[in-house]
Amino acid sequence: MHRVKFAVAAIGLLVATAGNAAELPKPYKSNATNFAYNLLFCDTPELFIQNKGLKPEMPLYRVLHAKPADAGAVRKIADSDKDSCTRILAYRWLGRHKQPVPPKTLLGVVIEFGSPGSLDTVAVYADGNTRYIDEQEHLFSYGPNTAGISGKAQDFLKRSRDLLAHLDPWKEARQPAPPYGFMRITFLASSGIYFGDGELRQMAKDKFGGATVHSAFDLYKAVSAITEK
C-alpha cells in the first residue's frame, strides 16, 4: 500500500536558467502548457522574467529585479495584500537573501490529479484567483468572485491552512507530477513549498488530511463543471 505523504518539498528554490530549465517537470505534451504549469508554483523567477510586458513600476518587476539593498522594499511587497504570486516570489527572494520570513503563511495551493496519459491541475491563491489546466491541456483562469468557484476555493484554502500547520519540511526539489491514480496537494507558503501526495483512495481516507483532500475534490469538480459549460 502506498503511504500517504503530507510533508514539505523544497524550502529552497528550484532554480531554472537557460541551461537547466529542462529539469523542471514536464507533465504535458506542449512546451507552452508545461511553461504555464510551472508558473503556477511560483518557485522559478526566471520563468516570470521572460514576460516582456512587465513595467519597472510593477511590484512583480521590482521583485524579479531586486538587489540585496532592496530587501526592505521586497518585504513590503511580500507582506502586502497584492497579487499572491508576486508575494510568493517576494518571500522566496527574502529567503534566498537570508532574510527572515514568517512561518507558513499560506498564499496558494496547487492540486494535481494524475489522469490517463496526462494531468488535471487546479491552482488557487489567497487573493482568490484560480487557474485550471485540464488533461487536454486547455488553460482557464477565474477571478476571486467567480460564481460556483469562489466559495469552494475559500473553503479549500481554510482547510489547507489547518493542515499546513502540522506539516514538517522536506528539503528537496519540487517533485515530478503524480502518475495516473495519484494526487498531490502542494502548499505555497511564505516559508517554502509543502506537499502531500498519495493514491487517490488512500488520500481521501487519511485521517490527517482527508478533509482537505475532499475539499480539493469539491473545488476540482466545481472548476471542471464550469469549464464544460
Distance CA 20, CA 176 (A): 15
CB neighbours of 59 closer than 8 A, spacing ≥ 6? 77, 80, 82, 83, 86, 90
Query: Considering the entire predicted model, what is its pTM?
Result: 0.89
71-116 tens-digit pLDDT: 999 999 999 998 999 999 999 999 999 999 999 999 999 999 998 8
CA neighbor of 13 nearest in space, from 5, 23, 3 = 23
6-45 tens-digit pLDDT: 333 222 223 333 334 448 999 999 999 999 999 999 999 9
